[in-house]
Structure 1
C-alpha cells in the first residue's frame, strides 16, 4: 500500500509533527509499504524522516489544492495528517478522496476523519466535534507515536544511579525561549555531567557554549546529535520543554524537570503535574527556580523513582505500532467492501 503523510517542521513551528509522523513512516516502510511526505518544509522532512520516503513539496500550508492534485495523479491508499493548518474543510476534501487519519492535539476545530489520533495525556478528557461518520478513536498515551530509536530503548531497563551522575538539557528544535543557557547555569556547582542539546533550528549555540564555559560543572554541548535517544536514555535527570520530547523521556523512564515554552504545551504541563509524572515549572520561571527544582530531584531519589516508574507505565513506546495496525485494518476492510 501507499501512504501519504501531510506534516511540516521548522525552527518557527517546531519539529514535533515530523518527529511523531516519522515514527509511523518507519513502521510502514518496515512492512514494505510506500510512504510519501507532503510538506511545505521538504528540507526538514528530508533530515528528520526515514531515507526511503518520497517528498512532495507544497507551497501553501493552508490550501489542499496541490495535495488533492497529487492524490488524483498518484492514487495513494490512505493519508495521515498532522498539521495545524489542516482544518475541518481541508480534512473533509481529503476524506472525500482517500481514507484519512488525523493526528490532532486539541479539540478547537471539528474533526472530519476515518481515524482520530491524539496520544496526549489529556486526549480522552476532550470533547471532540465530529463532522461526518464517527471515526475510530485512538486516544491517550497508548496511541502516542514515538520513533523506533526511542521505542526500542523503552523496552530496556534504564540504569539507576544515586546520586545522579548524568543530566541532559533539551528545549526542542529551536529553544524559542532561550532557556538552555539559563538551565546550564542552574546546574553550576553540581557533581553532574551535563549534555546540553542544541536543536537543529536553534540560534543560541554561542550563548549555550558561553554558559558552559562559565560554570563549575562538566558540560558537553551537542548540536542535533544523531544518538539523541541514547542520550536521553543514559541520563539520570533531564530538563526539557513540554513538547514531544517529554513523552520520549516518559517512555525511557528519565526523571524530568519540565517547562512549557509555548501555549499548546500548557495542557501537557498541567497533565504532567496532575499525574505527578515530572516536576513542572511555569514558563516564566527564573534561573533560581530551575536550580531549586534540579536540587529537589537530586536530593529526593524517591521522587525520581516515582517519575521513572510512572513515565514508563504511562508511555510504553508502542503507540505508533497500534496506530498503524488500526489504520491498515480499516483500509483493508474498505478494500474488501468495494
Structure 2
C-alpha cells in the first residue's frame, strides 16, 4: 500500500499536524505501507525531521504566486486561512513528477477543502481528511476528528460530507504513539514535579508566562519544554538559571519520559491532550488557538482537566491560583485522571491504520502450512468462550478437519495477513446461493477493527470467487455481545441470534 500525506508545519501553524500524521505513518509503515510526505517550506517546517525518520519528504514552495495569498502570509494570517488550492495541486504534481498513483492520500490542513480534495483525486484512489474544525466541505472517503468535541456534538460533519464518507470521531481514534498504551501515573498527595509545554513552537509565548506564574512556588521541580526558537528564549534562560529546581529544555528526545515523571501538566489544548489523558496526568489547560477552545471547554465540563480559557484573556494571578489549587488537591487531580483515562486507550492510530488497509487488503486461502496457526487460534480461550463447541480440539482431529476443509469445494478458509503477522480467520460454508460465515481473531488482535476488515474483505473475495452467492448468514450465541455488535456494524440484519446479509439482490 502506498500513502501520500499532505500536511504543513510552521512557526504559525505549529507542529501538531505533522506530529499526528507521523504517528499514523509509523503504524502504517509497520504494516508494510510506503508513506510519502509533502510539505511546504514554511519557516519552521519539519521536512528534515521527517527525512531523519526515513520518510521521503517532498518540499513544496513556501509561497505561491497569488498576490492575495502572499499578502495574507506576510501579515501573519490565521492558521485557518484558505490556501490557494489550485496552486497547491500544481506544486504537488510537480513534486510527485509522475509517480504511480497512491492507494490513499491523507490531508491534514485547515487551509484546504473539498475543492483541493476533488482535484487531488488525480494522485490517489482514496482520500482521507484529518480535521477538528467542522467548518468547511470535504470530498473524501474517510474523515478523522479525534477531538471530544466531535463526539459530544450532534453529527457535526453531516452538512460537510457525502453520506458515504466513513467518519471516525472522538478520542477513541486519537493518533498516539505506542508507548501511551501504558499504566497511568500515580497521583501523589501533593504535586512535586510540573511539566510545562505549549506545543512545538509556542508562538503564544505561554511557557514564559507560566514561568512568571511559577516564581512563587520554590518547592516545585519544573521542566519547561520550549525550543530555542521561542521568542522569549533568552528571558526564559535567565529565569531558569536563577532557580536550581527548574530545567529549560530546548530539545527533548523522551517527552514521554518527562510526562511520566510529572504530577501536573500545564499546557495547551492541542495534540498532547490525549497523551496526557492516556497517562492520567492532571492538567491545567490554556488554549493558544481558536480551534482548541471548544474541545478544551467541553473536556473541562466533563471533568477531564482545569481550563482557564484562551491565553489572550488570561489573568496571570488566575494562573497562580490554579497552580496552588491543584498542587494541594489530590481528590481533584485523581478525578481528572480517572475521567481522562476513560476516554482513550492509546490504540487510535492502529484503528485508523486498519481502516486504511481494509479497502486494499487481499485475504489468502489457508493451506496445510497454517495447521498450527489455526489449531492455536481455535483453541485460544477467547475463541472457545464463544464457540458453539467450547471443548479443546486435539491435534489429530484438527489436522483431519483441515484436510477435509481444504478439499471441500463448498468451503473457503481465508487468512487475514499483515506485514507483522496474521490477524484472523474467516470460514465460509456454501449451500447454493447462501453461505454461513465463521470468524475469529488471533490472540492480541481484538479491539482495533480487524473483525470488520475481515468481513468486508471476505465479501470482496466472495464476489470474485463465488459470484452466485447472494446471502451470508452467521450464527452467534445470545450473550456474545461483541460478535452481535460486529455483525450489526457490518450491515447484517438480526433475527434472534441469526444474522443475514444480502450481497447480491439480482
TM over 0.5, shorter chain: yes
Which of 160, 171, 189 is equivalent to 1:141? Answer: 171
Q: Gapped runs of 5+ residues in structure 2?
A: 65-82, 362-456, 465-506
Secondary structure of 1:137's aligned partner: strand
184, 189, 193: which one pairs with 2:221?
193
8 A contact 1:99–1:331 mirrored in 2? no
What's 1:249 paired with?
276
Q: Which residue of 2 aligns with 1:98?
A: 125
1:299 has 2:328 as partner = yes
SS of aligned partner of 1:74: coil
Q: Which residue of 2 aligns with 1:231?
A: 258
- TM-score normalised to the size of structure 1? 0.91
Residue 272 of structure 1 deviates from its aligned partner by: 1.8
| Partner residue, 2:319 | 290
In structure 2, relative to structure 1, the CA distance for the partners of 1:137 and 1:121 (3 Å cut) is: same
- Aligned match of 1:325: 354
* Distance in structure 1 (CA, Å) of the matches to 2:52 and 2:220: 34
In structure 2, what is the equivalent of residue 65 of structure 1?
Answer: 90
Instruction: Return closer, same or farther for 1:335/1:22 CA change in 2, 3 Å cut-off.
Output: farther
Change (3 A) 1:26 1:50: farther
User: Does the 8 A contact of 2:128 with 2:143 survive in 1?
Assistant: yes
Q: Secondary structure at the match of 2:46?
A: helix
2:217 alignment partner, SS class: coil
TM-score (norm 2): 0.62
Alpha carbons of structure 1 residues 160 and 58: separation in structure 2 relative to 1, 3 Å: same
Question: Larger relative CO (CA 8 A, sep 6+): 1 or 2?
Answer: 1
5+ unaligned residues in a row in structure 1: which ranges? none
Structure 1 contact 22–50 (Cα < 8 Å) conserved = no
Match of 2:164, SS state, is coil
Distance 1:34 1:335 in 2: 24
2:345 paired with 1:316: yes
Aligned residue pairs, count: 334
Deviates more, 1:195-204 or 1:100-109: 195-204
Residue 47 of structure 2 corresponds to: 45
Tell me, yes or no, if the aligned pair for 1:17 and 1:82 is still in contact at 8 Å: yes
Please point out which of 27, 40, 56 is paired with 1:54: 56
TM-superposition CA deviations, 1:298-326 (whole Å, max 9, x none): 11100110111111111221111101111
Contact 1:153–1:233 (CA under 8 A) maintained in structure 2: no
